[in-house]
Chain A
Amino acid sequence: MASAVALSSFSSLFLRSSRSSSASSSAPSTSFIPRSLTHPPSPLRLSAPAPSPAATSGGEIETTFYYNDDPSNIVTFDPPERPEGYVPPPAFDELPPETEEEISAGYEELYGPAYSGESVLGNDIYVMDAKLKKTSSHLGRKKREKVADGFEERVVQVRRVTKVVKGGKKMSFRAIVVVGNKQGQVGVGVGKAKEVVDAIVKSSVNARMNIVTVPMTKYSTFPHRSDGDYGAAKVMLRPASPGTGVIAGGAVRVVLEMAGVENALGKQIGSKNALNNARAAVVAVGKMRQFSDVARERGIPMEELWK
């Protein structure tokens, strides 16, 4: 009790020096606190339900405490034991300033010379060039990327779109591309550019960023029915027995084929917009779960799911 009184008056004295002054000075002035008050609160075990406000110091500063009387939520801070002979390390601005050389040497030890332009430990400063050339330069990409990824692309739609400006009409091309390896991963991407080829490249880059996995059974079909919608497009997908093939229209067909699904039924209900239907198909496929995963999550044997 006494410690709580001491603590609350301790902090109330703090607030007398206004917050802005404590913010402007780098170290808050401790002259306000009389020595006697800094000493008592040694077992500072405040748990979230703080003691009653009746014990707070007088009426000059009104405090409202928010109590958390929820027993499951009581937070206590119990750090591990202080090891003997523990010396707290000095703060970083109290250390002697390091020379530039020491700093560069330290960084280089950990990361190599990277982009600093100078090497203290004798490493090659152009080491990043070799790494950069491997990943891409714009010319190399068009030839290599087609095979490297394992992803096949198919263009769903290329449209010429127009922006009307003061001088007339600005034409550009919008390409919608579906990217997939035939093993259950698909992605839909959009890209716009002044030339068709560039637009297709942009959209395939975009498609590779939003890839989704299709859960497939061993007969190359879905585990169960699913609906998905995006915008005004609604797509219904249904599994089919082997030998059926993919029976779906337009964009949905392309998405399912690129995923590697061989037997499925799909219907576009609602809008017939290609992009939105492709995205709705991806949403529908994202909602599907394998039977084994659901059984594991719910903690029941798989046979229960088919009852």
Chain B
Amino acid sequence: MERRYWNINLEEMMEAGVHFGHGTKKWNPKMAPYISAKRKGIHITNLIITACFLSEACDLVFDAASRGKKFLIVGTKKKVADLVASAAIRARCHYVNKKWLGGMLTNWSTTETRLQKFRDLRARKLSTLQTYLGGIKYMTGLPDIVIIVDQQEEYMVLRECVILGIPTICLIDTNCDPDLADISIPANDDAIASIRLILTKLVSAICEGHSSYIKKG
């Protein structure tokens, strides 16, 4: 996999507050290698590791996009819902920003039935299905890579992907388990600025990959 330049610099990440973790009492001891310091009852993650993983994730995502793989971005917290939607639309990926219905991936045949219903109801445009399925209406099969914004919130999504064997990229905070996802990026999942920064990098990688895929024909 070719390593490209993704304009990841540590000052930018510090400004966005990517290095903040959760309170000391809520930590997951498996995160010990990624924590560099403790200050005022809050754990501070090691930004070098974050930068390494983020660039690796961007390389992987660029590679996959240039081969025409499908992505899914999942983020259901109220604060980040709009961010996830705009990021995914910009990158032409599927997304889930309202509630994740259990079994969306493992029970794909039922989800397909719902999507068919949604398509037939489109004429009315008032359906509540729009909130749940709006982001995946262009999805024809299971995605190839799933990007998850907060592991604690989207634990079910991670479980489904592990069962199905779909590679995942996940934003990990100090109270999460880094072994579950394939690439876990230790970052702050509370501040909108930090999620925005990481999503920007990933989205730019996906866009570049798509454009190189389209160029290839």
A interface residues, Cβ below 8 angstroms from B: 10-12, 14-15, 19, 22-23, 26-28, 30, 38, 41, 44, 46-48, 50, 61-66, 68, 73, 75-77, 79-83, 86, 88-89, 91-93, 95, 98, 103, 106-118, 125, 128-129, 131-132, 135-136
Residue B35, interface by CB 8 Å: yes
- Are A66 and B36 in contact, with the CB atoms below 8 A? yes
- A92–B199 CB distance below 8 A: yes
Q: What residues make up the interface of B, taking CB atoms closer than 8 Å to A?
A: 3-8, 10-11, 14-17, 19-20, 32-33, 35-40, 42, 44, 46-49, 51-52, 55, 68, 70, 83, 86-87, 89-92, 109, 112, 115-116, 118-120, 122-123, 133, 137-140, 190-193, 196, 199-200, 203-204, 207, 210, 214
What are 19 A-B interface contacts by the 8 Å CB criterion? A11-B14, A12-B39, A38-B11, A61-B39, A61-B40, A63-B37, A63-B38, A75-B49, A79-B8, A80-B3, A92-B199, A106-B92, A114-B138, A115-B118, A117-B137, A131-B140, A132-B112, A132-B116, A135-B109
Q: Kindly identify which residue among B40, B51, B196 contacts A91, using a CB–CB cutoff of 8 Å.
A: B196
Indicate if the CB atoms of A15 and B39 lie closer than 8 Å.
yes
Cβ B36 vs Cβ A114 within 8 A: no
- Measured in the bound complex, the distance between the Cα atoms of B192 and A108 in whole Å is 30
Contact (Cβ within 8 A) A116 B196: no
Closest B residue to A117 by CB, please name it.
B122
Closest to A127 in B: B140
B52 → A minimal CB distance (Å)? 5
- Complex contact B193–A27 (CB within 8 A): yes
Query: A111 contacts B138, CB within 8 Å?
Result: yes
Q: Are A115 and B119 in contact (CB under 8 A)?
A: yes
Chain A facing B: main interface SS:
loop
Provide the bound-state CA to CA distance between A292 and B199, in Å.
46
Chain B hits for A19, CB < 8 A: 20, 42, 190
Rounded to whole angstroms, the CA-CA distance of A117 and B127 in the bound complex is: 13
A45 to chain B, nearest CB (A): 9
Bound-state CA distance A136–B108 (Å) is 13
Task: Say whether B193 contacts A28, CB under 8 Å.
Answer: yes
Decide: B4 and A118 in contact? CB cutoff 8 A.
Answer: no
Contact of A92 among B32, B191, B203 (CB under 8 A): B203
Tell me if A93 and B17 are in contact (CB < 8 A): no
Contacts A61-B39, A103-B89, A128-B140 known; list 5 others, CB within 8 Å.
A66-B32, A77-B52, A79-B8, A116-B122, A135-B109
Complex CA–CA separation, A79 to B191 (angstroms): 25
Distance of A193 Cα from B169 Cα, bound (Å): 38
**Is B37 a contact of A107 with CB atoms below 8 Å?**
no
Q: Chain B residues near A12 (CB, 8 Å)?
A: 39
Check A116–B204 contact: CB distance below 8 A.
Answer: no
Query: Within the complex, what minimum Cβ distance (angstroms) separates A305 from chain B?
Result: 32
Contact of B92 among A76, A107, A135 (CB under 8 A): A107
Min Cβ gap A36→B in Å is: 15
CB-based nearest B residue for A132: B112
Q: Could you say which of B11, B33, B36, B48 contacts A77, with CB atoms under 8 Å apart? A: B48
Chain A neighbourhood of B119, CB < 8 A: 115-117, 125, 128
Once the chains are docked, how many angstroms separate the CA of A116 from the CA of B121?
10
Say which residue of B11, B35, B89, B118 sits within 8 Å of A44 (CB atoms).
B11
